[in-house]
Each structure stands twice: as structure tokens, then as C-alpha cells.
Amino acid sequence: MVKKGKLTTVVFCVFLAGLLAWHIGLPDKDRSETENRTLAQFPEFSWENLKNGSFTAGMEDYFADQFPLRDDWTGLKARCEQLLGKREFNGVYLCGDTLIAKVDEPDRLQMEKNLDDVKRFGEASHGRVLLGLIPSAAEVWKDRLPQGAPSFDQAAFIQNAAEKTGLPTVDLLGALTEHAGEPIYYRTDHHWTTRGAFYGANALLNALGKELLKETDFTPEVASTDFNGTLYSTSGIHWLAPDTIEYWVPEDSLRVTSWKSGKEEPGRLYDRSYLEHKDKYSSFLGGNQPLCVLENPAITDGSKLLLIRDSYSDSLVPFLAQCFSEVHLVDLRYYHASVADYMAEQGIDTAVVLYSVSNFITDRNLIYLAPRGWCTSVFVVSDHGNEIADCFLEKRLANSVSFDIINTF
């Protein structure tokens, strides 16, 4: 019995030594395509870093991220947990062949601030402002969630948002629920599919009193059949079949101008270079950017639409651009100037605040909806960045177009 125990210990030690030697022999990776994130690198050593614990913490992150066959071990862990009956993996529910992101109860104070900012934007704007809140799959496909799975009541929030802001709304919940039996969300990603975006575009056009688009006017192009999205990365569930990405709108029908690099330059409706990488959804418009403008030479009535938006609009806007001379997209995560002023300067008379519910309830950038003279430029040096930032933002002093925080910890 003792010999058997010693043998087990020796085998285990040899196994660990082999893994360590394997780890040392392999070159470090800069990025995990599976998890779509940058991996920890070997930390810089100093006596000060050793003393304050940052070197030790860095080494733990380094070994965890650079561990041999890490992606395979992560997938094996998720598979074992599934066999034990687990249905939630890092905030992602496994629902048959579909992954659905859990939407947690929000910070009520932040949520109310965001609704107040949108309401004030509507009051200050000289044009028409609508509110469009996109429910996630956790709401539209809630019948697919594991029994008893908790998830934020998005339908109730959408109704409450309409009442609190007093703005006309886009019935995206109704439009998507009507087509819940169709593939309107990706199975491995949190975004809606191109089909879902098509239904969303028609809901918006209906709210604006525009003629609806017909599905028969489009010929879908299969851009990729091996898309593994954000939920694939987050959950560790790597055994589901990949998603398919489709392009419905011909890319030569529109002219795109982008400020992705910080300056005006020609953009693309579809940046196909992303199809060679993990983040294939960013092939729509080329991903996140502060400002983007789509022009349709075939529409000559001078109509302009502004979308204050998140990444859901990347696949939506090709449809909307079929009905306007210009569609302007502003992403407040990167565009830190007054949107109300931009709207006035560009002669835009209609704006839609268009966010997924999950992004809207957590966003901290809606303050930039304010007109000049309503909020102030603030530069904060703080070891409690978010709390002090909120304090300054609430003051809304005068003449601001930018806001920066430096954390000193």
C-alpha cells in the first residue's frame, strides 16, 4: 500500500516536471484566438515588485495563461462540469446547442443616470429623438434558459425606460419576439445575426414612418461558416458547431467614411480581413470606432439619420442606409464630444439612441449626449477612479468635450 502511494507520488511529480519542461520549451503566445484576448507575459522582476506582491501575482497570471494546451484544458474543464450537471459557465448559459449570456441585475443608480441623460438629450435636441433598446437572447429566448435560471427582466426595463424618458420608442422587443423561432441571434456570440438585424432595421423604419424593407430584395452572401463568438470564448464551451456570418447588402452600393484611426479616411462596409481572425463580427464596418458615416448616392432627398449606438448597429446600419442619404454612427465609448452639438452642426433632424439592454444598463458614457455648456471637461487623478468620476460627472459644470481618468493604483 505504501509502495503504491509512493509510486503515485512519483508519477505525479514526473507529470508535473514534464509539463514544466514543456512549458519552458514552448515560445510564449501573445494572444489567445480562442478567448479573443491578450495573454499575460513574463513579469518584470524587481525587488520592489517582489516585495509588494505584483511579481508573484504576475507569475501566477503568466503560468495560467501560457500553460501548455491551455485551450484544451479549459474546454475539458467545461465538459466535465457539464457532465456534473452545471448549466452556467462564467455567466453564460448552455441551452442545448446555443449559448446565452446571463444579464445580471444592474446598478440601479447607474441605470437611472443613463435614463436621465437620454431624457435630457431628447429635451435639448432640436430634432426628433427616439429610444431603441435591443433585448438580448436571454429575453427573447428565455424559454430556452435552464429551469429557474435568473436573468434580468429586460421587458420590464424597456417599458420603464419609455416611461422615464418620455421619448418615442422602437419596438425591437416585439419585432424580435415575433421571429423568435428563427436564427436571430448567434449561438456562440451575444450579437444578433444579420437576419435579426434585418428585423431590427424594419422595426426602426416603422417607428420613423418609413417604408419597410423586403427580404426578397436581398441576396445573402455567406461570408464565414466558422465563426466562434464572444460566448464561445467566455464560457469555455468549445464543442458546439460554429456560427455562419452573412452579408445581405452589396458593399459597392454605399460609400463609407471612418474615423477609426482618429482621422477621416475611407472605410469599408465589410472589412473581410477580420474573417481570417477570431473576431469575425468586426468584419461589419471594421469594428469599433468613434464615428462612421454611410452615404447612399441612390437616395437624393438629403435625409440624415444619427445613431448613438453600440456594436449591434454594425450589422444593422447597412439596411438603414438603404433608406437615407446619410447615416451617421457615434459610439460614445470612443467619441467624447457633445452629440447634441454634432447633430446640430451636421444638420441632422432625427436621432436614435440604439443600445442593447445589457450595454445600456452598464454604460458610463451617455453623459456625452449633452450639449456644450451642459457638462465640463474633467481630468481626474484618483485611486478610486469610478467613484470620483461619477461625482464630477454629476456636477455637469460647463463647456466640456472630453473626460479622462487616470487611476494611480
One-letter amino acid at 7 equals L
Final residue before a domain boundary, out of 312, 328, 357: 357
Q: Is residue 200 part of a domain?
A: yes
Torsion of CA 229, 234, 235, 241, to 10 degrees: 10
- Could you read off the pLDDT of 44-91 as tens digits, one per residue? 767 776 667 767 776 666 655 555 555 655 666 666 776 676 788 889
Q: Is residue 73 part of a domain?
A: no
Write the DSSP assignment of 299-358 as a string of letters: --S--EEEEEE-TTHHHHHHHHTTS-SEEEEE-TTT--S-HHHHHHHTT--EEEEEEEHH
Same domain, 32 and 151: no
CA dihedral sign, ordered 26, 28, 32, 33: negative
Same domain, 245 and 200: yes
* Percent of the chain scoring above 70 in pLDDT: 72
Spatial distance between the Cα atoms of 212 and 219, rounded to a whole number of angstroms: 17
| Domain extent at residue 151 | 98-357
Q: Is residue 188 part of a domain?
A: yes
Number of domains in the chain: 2
> Cell numbers at residue 97, please?
446547442
Query: Is the per-residue pLDDT at 324 higher than 90?
Result: yes
User: Is the pTM higher than 0.75?
Assistant: yes
Same domain, 105 and 236: yes
Position 162 scores a pLDDT of 97
- Could you read off the pLDDT of 297-317 as tens digits, one per residue? 999 999 999 999 999 999 999
Final residue before a domain boundary, out of 357, 372, 393: 357
Q: Is residue 43 part of a domain?
A: yes
Mean pLDDT, range 336-357, rounded to an integer = 94
- Could you read off the pLDDT of 216-261 as tens digits, one per residue? 999 999 999 999 999 998 899 999 999 999 999 998 889 999 999 9
Mean pLDDT, range 381-387, rounded to an integer = 37
Same domain, 64 and 121: no
pLDDT band at 396 (very low <50, low <70, confident <90, very high): very low
Spatial distance between the Cα atoms of 114 and 373, rounded to a whole number of angstroms: 19
Position 121 scores a pLDDT of 94
Position 409 scores a pLDDT of 31
Position 43 scores a pLDDT of 72
Distances (CA, A) of 348 to 54, 129, 156, 307, 351: 51, 11, 31, 11, 8
Position 80 scores a pLDDT of 74
Same domain, 176 and 275: yes
262, 259, 286: which is closest to 274 by C-alpha?
Answer: 286
> Cell numbers at residue 268, please?
469599408
Spatial distance between the Cα atoms of 173 and 400, rounded to a whole number of angstroms: 35
Position 30 scores a pLDDT of 58
Same domain, 278 and 177: yes
Same domain, 209 and 332: yes
Enter the DSSP assignment of 45. P
- Could you read off the pLDDT of 87-120 as tens digits, one per residue? 888 899 999 999 999 999 999 999 999 999 999 9
Region of 57 please: left (phi>0), alpha (psi -120 to 50) or beta. alpha
